[in-house]
Amino acid sequence: MVFIAPSILNADFARLAEEAAKVAAADWLHLDVMDGHFVPNLTVGPMVAGSLVRAQRLPVEAHLMVWEPEKMIPWFIEAGCRRIIVHAESTPHLHRAVTTVKAAGVDVGVALNPGTPVYVLEHLLEEIDLALVMTVDPGFGAQALVPATLPKITRVRRLIDERNPACHLEVDGGINAETIKSVVEAGADTLVIGNAIYAAPDPGAMLDQLKALAEGRV
Ligand code: DX5
Ligand code: ZN
C-alpha cells in the first residue's frame, strides 16, 4: 500500500475547503508552512491549519519549513494537526523538537533537504514516525525532482528496515505520473503530490490515477 498526501500549496487558497474536498479519497492532507526565512516563500500559520482541520475529514500533516520550529510546534498541535514534520536543518535542537511533538501524542516526522546527508537521522530513527526525503529544494510547488535523491531514498529505506520498520518514508516534490514509479521503487511509501494533482482538470481522478500507478495496478 502506498499513501498519498496531496499538498495544497498549488491549490486555490481562497477556497481551501473546496480544494480539500476534491482529494477526499487521499490518506492525508499535506500543509506546507513556510516562514519566508528558512525557505524563500511565505504561506500559512496555525489559524489556517485549524480551519483546514475543521473544514474537512482528512488528517492534516504540517510540514514546517521554518527556522526554530520548537516555538511553533505547540501552535500546530493545538490547531489539530495529526503529524508534524520538522526540518533537520532548521534547529540545533532537533531531538528536543522531536520529543516535544511525541510528548503531545502527535506523530512526528523529520525532513531532509536534498543536500542534507542521511546520517543526521542516525540518532533519531527509533523515535520518529516518518522520515521525509525532500525530492526538491523546498519553497515552491511544481519543481523538477532532483535525480540524486533517488539513491538517497533507497539508503533511508535500508536504514528504516533495519532500525524502525514502522517508520514511514515520505517523499515531497516533483512527484507526477512520470516520476512516481521511480520513487516507489526506490523505497518511498508515502508520497506528497501538489502540482500534478491540482493542475489537473479533475484533481480527484488524477489522485486515483497516481495511486494506481504507485501501487502498480496500471
Ligand atoms: C515544496 C513543498 C511541497 C510542494 C510539492 O517546498 O514542501 O510540498 O508543494 O509540490 P509539487 O508536487 O508541486 O512538487
Ligand atoms: Zn511539503
What does the pLDDT look like over 8-62, one tens digit per residue?
A: 999 999 999 999 999 999 999 999 999 999 999 999 999 999 999 999 999 999 9
Q: Which three cell numbers stand for residue 77?
A: 498541535
Whether pTM > 0.95 for this model: the answer is yes
Centroid of ligand 2 to alpha carbon of 138 (angstroms): 7
Could you give the residue numbers annotated as active site?
A: 32, 172
Number of domains in the chain: 1
- Read off the CATH number of the domain in which 23 is found: 3.20.20.70
For position 213, what pLDDT does the model report?
Answer: 98
Q: Determine the Cα–Cα distance for residues 129 and 109; give it in Å rounded to an integer.
A: 6
Residues with CB under 6 A from ligand 1: 7, 9-10, 30, 32, 63, 136, 138-143, 172-175, 192-196
Its sign, for the CA torsion 24, 127, 89, 161, is negative
Q: Over the chain, what is the mean pLDDT?
A: 98
For position 210, what pLDDT does the model report?
Answer: 98
What burial letters (b/e) apply to 106-142, b meaning 16+ CB within 10 Å? bbbbbbbbbebeeeebeebbeebbbbbbbbbebbbbe
Q: Position 91: which residue type?
A: T
Pocket test for ligand 1, best of 28, 32, 112, 197 (most atoms within 8 A of CB): 32
For position 70, what pLDDT does the model report?
Answer: 96
Please return the burial class of 201, using the count of CB atoms within 10 Å of its CB with bins 0-12, 13-18 and 19+: exposed
- Domain residue limits at 123: 3-214
Give Cβ neighbours of residue 51 (< 8 Å, ≥ 6 apart).
16
